[in-house]
Chains A and B, each alone.
Chain A
Amino acid sequence: MHIQVAAVREEVRALLAASAESKRKFVETVELQIGLKNYDPQRDKRFSGTIKLPHIPRPKMTVCILGDAHDVDKAKAIDMPFRSVEDLKKMNKNKKLIKKMAASYDAFIASEALIKQIPRLLGPGLHKAGKFPTPRIRATIKFQLKKVLCLAVAIGNVSMEEDEVLGNIMLAVNFLVSLLKKRWQNVKSLYIKSTMGKPHRLY
């Protein structure tokens, strides 16, 4: 085993304890940092994507529902922000209005049927913000490796339970390593770190 769950759990515990002690005014993100070796960014695959994690790292995401009358009623019932098809039509593909709406929410949810209409209703207005709607909230996080040999992924935050942070770390590590041609031989180091805290080495 390259990393032992028990050893990782200890580091997670230490990281969460250190964060609790320092009492920040914001919820610190927990980041996984993977240092790579023997990795040729030109030869090896373009390394960017999203991972689906078992525990959502951003529970306080603001979500807006885009929908027909039926979806809008459901949104009202659970007190969620929404825009109806009529609301979207009224925007008249006005770029400023659409960008403002895009900036106001972390994500947009819409039914598959409505998603098909989005290009006709809004044009590419939501694309630049990376907020094209999905049918469900996806508990995914983005990772990207472009020029440098270190992959950094936000896998949780300090308000999560120890088990949840641990679960996310193990899943993310195994998944990312599986995408490397030489698997663990391409991994130089593994650290976890909270936003303001010190790095804790896992490998």
Chain B
Amino acid sequence: MSRIPVTSTPSLLPKLHLQHSAFFDLGSDVYIFETLRTTAGIAVSASNNSIKLYDPQTLMPAATNTYHSDRVTQIKARPNMLLSSSFDQQVAIWDLRQSFGRPAMSFRANSPVLSFDMSLDEKMLVGGTKLDDDLQATVCFWDIHAGKLAKVFEESHSDDITNIQCHPGNAKQLLSGSSDGLVCTYDVSQFDEDEALQFVANIGASVSQCGFFGPDAQFIYAQSDMETLQLWTSDATMLADFGDVRDVVQAGVPIDYVIGCRYDPVQQRLYLLGGSNSGDVHVMHVGAGSFEHVQVLSGGHGDIVRGFDWDAAGGWAVSGGEDGRLSLWSTEKPSTPVVMPSRNAEGSKKSAGGRRFNPY
């Protein structure tokens, strides 16, 4: 019996089917970190520090850039824009209507940037850094229009800042999450760190992913590296503590790790995506004290799944993983079954989505 009550509710969402699958870099052991839908196709960040754009229908690669000289830690999308952060201490803004070679703007921090976001009004870029040799972990605020660093907060975290999210409804509010176990919310109407800090949720373990959710973004989810999940109000009242969510294995859901939480604003539901080491993705609806298992996405991957961008209402998803595969899912049944070439396939063997690409 699992500690977390789990029921099976497949009717909650239409079934997603695998449409296409492609290798990021066939023949190498490069693997995928994140996959994201943008206005210019699917953006994919990989372990060789590059970012590729793919055609969203065919998964044919359209453009590549190798701008970052070190690990790409996060990518985010806005209309006509892609943003990226890196261990190379930069946050870059790409104009997707221009060539993909150089960013439209880039901003620098004094340490590797692990996380970032852009404010609602697109005026401010906020980045979170790795703990440096002087034991500083910094929240950096850049004024986009002025093109420079406006402010740093150095007191709020004592370890790597793994998450930054700007409030989806308020350009002055944001949250940060850290390996020190804290999720902090800020209101930067007053740009002084002592005054800006609003609430602090002590998760008790290093925060891997966190973010606002809810119709008014009035809640926060926080996942830890210990595979735990907690739900809080944005004014730091804990609503639910699910503990180690791999507990659902006891209820017959064989997950090895958490891929992430995704919020569907249309149905106003929070989902938890759990993955198996063999590449299955389990989709679970998170309730106040229990989970509803909705469906499992199989056949898209053969190893740990890292990236998952999902439009639940639109019936579409794209995933990427440590097998170097990019997979496209939709609620339409594919006309022919998807066949993957083996990882070490050479030459021009053709199969759905597996055609060898020409580097840009």
Contact = CB atoms under 8 A, between A and B. Distances in A.
Nearest to A52: B204
Contacts of B157: 127
Contacts of A128: 155, 158
Interface in A91-145: 93, 112, 115-116, 118-119, 123-125, 127-130, 132-134, 138, 140
A46 B158 contact: no
Given A43-B322, A116-B237, A127 B204 contact: no
B235 A127 contact: no
Given A43-B322, A181-B256, A123 B155 contact: yes
Interface in B125-163: 153, 155-160, 162
14 contacts: A42-B71, A43-B322, A46-B179, A49-B205, A50-B206, A112-B237, A115-B202, A116-B236, A119-B197, A124-B155, A128-B158, A132-B200, A178-B246, A179-B225
Contacts of A47: 225
Contacts of A124: 153, 155-156, 184, 193-194, 197
The 4 closest A-B pairs by CB, nearest first: A123-B194, A124-B155, A49-B205, A124-B156
A76 interface: no
B208 A46 contact: yes
B111 to A, nearest CB: 14
Contacts of B181: 50
A112 B159 CA distance: 24
A48 interface: yes
B226 A49 contact: yes
B48 to A, nearest CB: 11
B329 interface: no
A45 interface: yes
B199 A179 contact: no
A142 B224 CA distance: 13
Nearest to A51: B226
Contacts of A93: 194
Nearest to B179: A48
A79 B300 CA distance: 61
A145 to B, nearest CB: 10
B230 interface: no
B304 interface: yes
Interface residues of A, number: 30
Nearest to A113: B237
Given A42-B47, A134-B204, A181-B304, 14 more contacts: A47-B225, A48-B159, A48-B206, A49-B205, A49-B225, A50-B206, A116-B199, A124-B156, A124-B194, A124-B197, A128-B158, A179-B227, A181-B256, A181-B277
The majority secondary structure among interface residues of chain B is loop
Nearest to A123: B194
Contact of A116 (B153, B156, B204, B235): B235
Interface in B157-197: 157-160, 162, 179-182, 184, 193-195, 197
Contacts of B71: 42
Contacts of B180: 127, 130
B193 A123 contact: yes
Interface residues of B, number: 42
Most buried by B among A42, A50, A178: A50
Interface string A6-26: 000000000000000000000
B280 to A, nearest CB: 15
Contacts of B199: 116, 119
Contacts of A112: 237-238
Interface in B80-119: none
A85 to B, nearest CB: 17
Contacts of A134: 202, 204
Given A49-B224, A124-B197, A181-B277, A130 B206 contact: no
Contacts of B160: 46
B198 interface: yes
A49 B211 CA distance: 19
A51 to B, nearest CB: 8
B182 A46 contact: no
Nearest to B198: A119
Contacts of B193: 123-124
B257 interface: yes
A119 B47 CA distance: 38
B31 interface: yes
B208 to A, nearest CB: 7
A50 B181 CA distance: 9
Given A124-B194, A128-B155, A130-B180, A45 B225 contact: yes
B22 to A, nearest CB: 20
A116 B257 CA distance: 31
Contacts of A50: 181, 204-206, 226
Contacts of B153: 124
